[in-house]
Amino acid sequence: MGSEKRSVEFLRFLAVVGTSAVLVWFGNGLTPWWPLIWFAPFPVLLYSLRSSWKLTACAGFLAWLFGSVNMEPLFQAQDMPFLNWLANFGSLALLFAAGALLFRALVLRGAVWSGTAALPALWVSVDWLRYWLTPHGTSADLAYTQLRFLPFLQLASLTGPWGMTFLLLWVPAGAAAFLFLHRREWHRARQVAWLVSGVLLAVLAFGAVRLLTTGQRTSVIVGLVASDAAGKAEVAAAGADATSLITAYAEQAKILAQHGAMVIVMPEKIAAVGDRDQATDDVIFQRAADVAQVTIVAGELHISPGKDRIRKYNRAEAYAPHRTVASYDKEHMLPPFESQLTPGTEKLSLELENTTLGVAICKDMDFTSMSCSYGQMGVGLMLVPAWDFNLDRIWHGHMAIMRGVEGGFSMARAARDGYLTVSDDRGRVLAETRSNSATFATLIAEVPVGHEPTLFQAWGNWFAWFAVGVLSFVLIRAGLLFVPFSARRWTGYWAE
């Protein structure tokens, strides 16, 4: 009899781990199907309320780890060892297991509201810590799974990715608590259902209304061009090779201008340019900008000999008709590939008729500081040279879309080994094509421009700090539940 019971328990454990892992696999990762991540935590959270803490910890860890194996090919593409993947996603699996344990401990002891907030508050707080301590910004945030769920995406204009992630985990936690309580404490279960569903419906209603309105009253025709022909790991060498490729890009810019493009964006690091070659290569793009009356933003690897060492910059050069060349140096580098480059410290904005244009490069757009800074500058359109890894053309290539929703501006992003993408300030992809669709892949699209202020632009990462506050309360609440009753009787203030 005991053996049969253990077999049933083991099968239930496998079912929970397998179900959550499949939901994480398809709901998160390189090509996420957005509805599934809403359900991914639910099996483990419900299971935690009917099982031991040891099985809960194992189920949570294994489900998230196995579900994240779909990201391992990206680490291979970046020539990173398996242990690197294990460290990254093993830590997320531990985080999920810890959140499930905290949820279990609180709900089973009657602290339902604290319990439902435990996992989302813990997850967002750790995300916020990782934002400051690692070079990868928000790149691991669950909110990016929801880029196609446009009504929900509008929440980013208020809270950034932090509020989206909180709600993604709070809803399944509330559902698990409801199912656990509905036969035990119907009154409390009903309260949980009303509050969680009410908040979710309010968020979606806000998003639906925002999608029907816009503050972008004018439009600009944008052209994007990229070539993957140089090879995935190559930058055209300084000198003749660089001049030849830059000339070819300039010719493509003229063609796009003939089709009406007013602004043209090219990828990052299309060629290596030394100080001695800078004048020659600048002339090529500047002449194209002057003749075609078009603004060109092109990425280069700039090499500048110094007194102590050679300095290298991931730079975007902006060529406006009959104006001095303006430069922007990438601020956030991708290790280890760019660890030897010197990061920039200054933002760059350009004026085009009645529109302010902003410039950033690839990984810069993984950081919410960019949407806040450029939003406060009143930018209506961001121009982003980029370079992806093919496999991450959706996962990483589309992260920049959220910055537009947060900061109130449209986006034109041209990536090698990725997509040429144009999106508006609501996160709608207006036009897109693969960079390997032709020797020189091109895209031309009319994009609405004009800055619309957002709460996130004004208040920044306020919701991340709110999550830290909630987590602090939850941890205090949990601590009080485990002290002896004689001590707890003096803590009625914390009772729910």
Q: How many angstroms separate the Cα of 113 from the Cα of each of 93, 140, 164, 307?
A: 24, 27, 19, 61
110: left (phi over 0), alpha (psi -120 to 50) or beta: left
Residues near 483 by beta carbon (within 8 Å), at least 6 away in sequence: none
Rounded to two decimals, the pTM is 0.93
% of the chain surpassing 70 pLDDT: 95
Confidence band for 230, pLDDT divided at 50, 70 and 90: low
What angle separates helix 112-133 from helix 82-108, to the nearest 10 degrees? 160
Residue 449 above 50 pLDDT?
A: yes
**Chain segment 348-384, per-residue pLDDT in tens:** 999 998 899 999 999 999 999 999 999 999 999 999 9
% of the chain at pLDDT higher than 90: 82
What local confidence, expressed as pLDDT, does residue 372 receive? 96
In which residue are the tokens 């810069």 written? 364
In CATH terms, is domain 218-451 a member of 3.60.110.10?
yes
Q: Which of 72-81, 293-302, 411-420, 443-452 has the lowest mean pLDDT?
A: 72-81
| CB 118, CB 476: distance < 8 Å | no
Task: Say whether pLDDT at 488 is over 50.
Answer: no
Map out the domains of the chain as residue ranges: 2-213+464-494, 218-451
